[in-house]
Amino acid sequence: MPGNRLCPRLIEHLAAHAFLELRFRPAYSFDDMFGCMTAFAPLIRSAVLAGAMIAGLVSVYADTISLQPAADTTLIEIAPGNNMGGAIHFNAGTTGNGNRNRALMFFDLSSAIPAGATITGAELSLDIVRQPEGTHPNSIFSLRRVLQSWNEGLRVPDESSPGQGSLAIAGEATWNDRFAAGTAWSVPGGLADTDFSSTLSSSAFVGGVGEQVLFSSSDTLIADIQFWLDHSEANFGWMFKTESESVGKTARSFASRESGFGPTLTITFTAVPEPSAISLATLCLICAALVARRRS
């Protein structure tokens, strides 16, 4: 609101005025300063409180944002040199012939959330768009923090094999490589505790086409996002996989970011107060106290 925007300018004006009053008068002795600080202790305490209140009006706020992935792709065991980062869906789970799919998702937090913010809530939703024919067991899927960098890629699958992508070009993620023709995963598909965390960040039930998958807010999910916000250099996103990889036909296709209605990460956060506003308000009132004492 307009009053909030005026507070910092008012503080700056008053502080500058107090500084000029002091600048062109004789210097204070230590005794003068100490006496003033003692005499005006209640005023100084009020200054700190006032500064905090003003900073709260200007800077402290809670907000909720929704983000789409900046990158998402599939690691395909049956086609270990292929990529499908440009497809309108990605796959995760085990196919009827026993081959595994693992998905990767990355969200760019630093461009959407102010540095120093505190994350207070987070949930991730996905839409199921394809499933195996016939019987297709439901299963629990998990999110695990990825520990190594990777590149989404731009390949799209052939219509006759929508789950197998296309041959990757250099630098694209595949089952074998984080960056094709350059850097491999520790083992094909990734190795726990080296390429991705062995600790679940969250888990959710995955049913059938038309249903939504929801990873509800939890301490571990919040901790991942807070860590990434504070350490953006270590943000490599999540691996998304079924916890029943030994069970066939748990594979599902999920709408990707290219579809326009891909995964949605909803984050609630509180921005921290800016210390400059508190410091200015406190300095202003202390200076005013010194000027008042000098004049008396």
User: What DSSP designation does 169 have?
Assistant: P
Q: Which tens digit of pLDDT belongs to each residue from 2-18? A: 334 334 444 444 444 44
Beta-bridge partners for 268: 64, 121
User: Cβ(128)–Cβ(210) under 8 Å?
Assistant: yes
Beta-bridge partners for 66: 266
Overall residue count recorded for the chain in this entry: 296
- Residue 109: predicted pLDDT: 97
Alpha carbons 171 and 182: distance in angstroms, whole number: 7
Q: Which tens digit of pLDDT belongs to each residue from 157-189? A: 988 888 999 999 999 999 999 999 999 999 999
- Residue 283: predicted pLDDT: 54
Alpha carbons 266 and 216: distance in angstroms, whole number: 10
Per-residue pLDDT averaged across 207-227, rounded? Answer: 97
Domain boundaries, the chain: 2-60+273-295, 63-271
- Residue 295: predicted pLDDT: 57
- Counting other chains too, the contacts that 180-184 makes at CB distance below 8 Å and 24 or more residues apart are 180/81, 180/83, 180/153
